[in-house]
Structure formats: structure tokens, C-alpha cells
Amino acid sequence: MRRLTQDPGLPPHLTVTADGPPLEAGVPPALLERIVSPLLANACRYAHGEVALRVHRSPVGVRIEVTDDGPGVPPAFAGQLFEPGRRAEPGDGHGGAGLGLPLARRLARSAGGEVTYDPGHAPGARFVVTLPAG
């Protein structure tokens, strides 16, 4: 997970941190990366300056939180976040095709996990991945 936060292509104005103990999810590392990468990419795309990746043990396995300090998700759009091809503000200049979140969720579910959005987090956005323990 920490490797994802050390990408030399990350915008220089961002501080990206990874926090938490080394935990083993019950999915192959490549699949874990495919699940978390779109969440981290979105956080970096919209953050003003801070992105955090936190890993915790949970009662069902592993919990990964990707949090940013950006504008957050408009409440009226939250129900459409995981629909393929949907973007809150298509003309916002941030790019993207609206496929990352649906793909991350589909992959997590295929492994017995889930990807959710935390509407109570502010400012910014928080996405939570839960996966079975390894």
C-alpha cells in the first residue's frame, strides 16, 4: 500500500501519507492495487493539499480508508457515485471517465469485499474499502 503513495507522478503540491500496521488482505497484491488505485487517483485529482491512506484491522478483515481535503462529493450526486460513466462535474477540468469507482467496487465485491463512500466525512471525501483478512 505504501508503494502507491510514493508514485513519482503524484502532483508535487500534495502531501500523501500512508498510515497503519502491515496487514494482509485476503486478495492478491495486484488485485488490491487495482481496487485502491482508482480511489487514490481520485483523491489526488481533487485534493487541495492532503491525501491520506489508512489501513486498519476490522471485525471482518481489513479496512482501507482513502481520504482527501478536496471539495467532497455533492450530496445530490452521492447516490450515483458508483454508476459507470457518471461524474459529478463533467466539465470541472479534472478529467476522468467515471469508470474508476465502479471498477474498484466491482473488484472488491468479487473478492468478498466492498467499496463505500462516507457521506459524513467533511471537509473532502472519504472512501472505504473492506476486504476479508488474508
Q: What is the DSSP string of 47-100?
A: -SSEEEEEEEEETTEEEEEEEE-S----GGGGGGTTSTT--S-TTSS----S-H
Query: How much is the pLDDT for 4?
Result: 63
Query: How much is the pLDDT for 69?
Result: 93
Q: What does the pLDDT average to over 105-120?
A: 96
Q: What does the pLDDT average to over 99-115?
A: 95
Rounded to 10°, the helix 100-110/29-46 angle is: 150
Q: What does the pLDDT average to over 82-94?
A: 69
> Does residue 63 carry a pLDDT above 80?
yes
Q: What does the pLDDT average to over 111-119?
A: 96
Q: Which three cell numbers stand for residue 51?
A: 491525501
Question: Per-residue pLDDT tens for 7-44?
Answer: 656 666 666 666 777 778 889 989 999 999 999 988 98
Say if CB 65 and CB 123 are below 8 A apart: no
Query: Domains of the chain (ranges plus CATH)?
Result: 2-132 (3.30.565.10)
Q: What does the pLDDT average to over 40-58?
A: 88
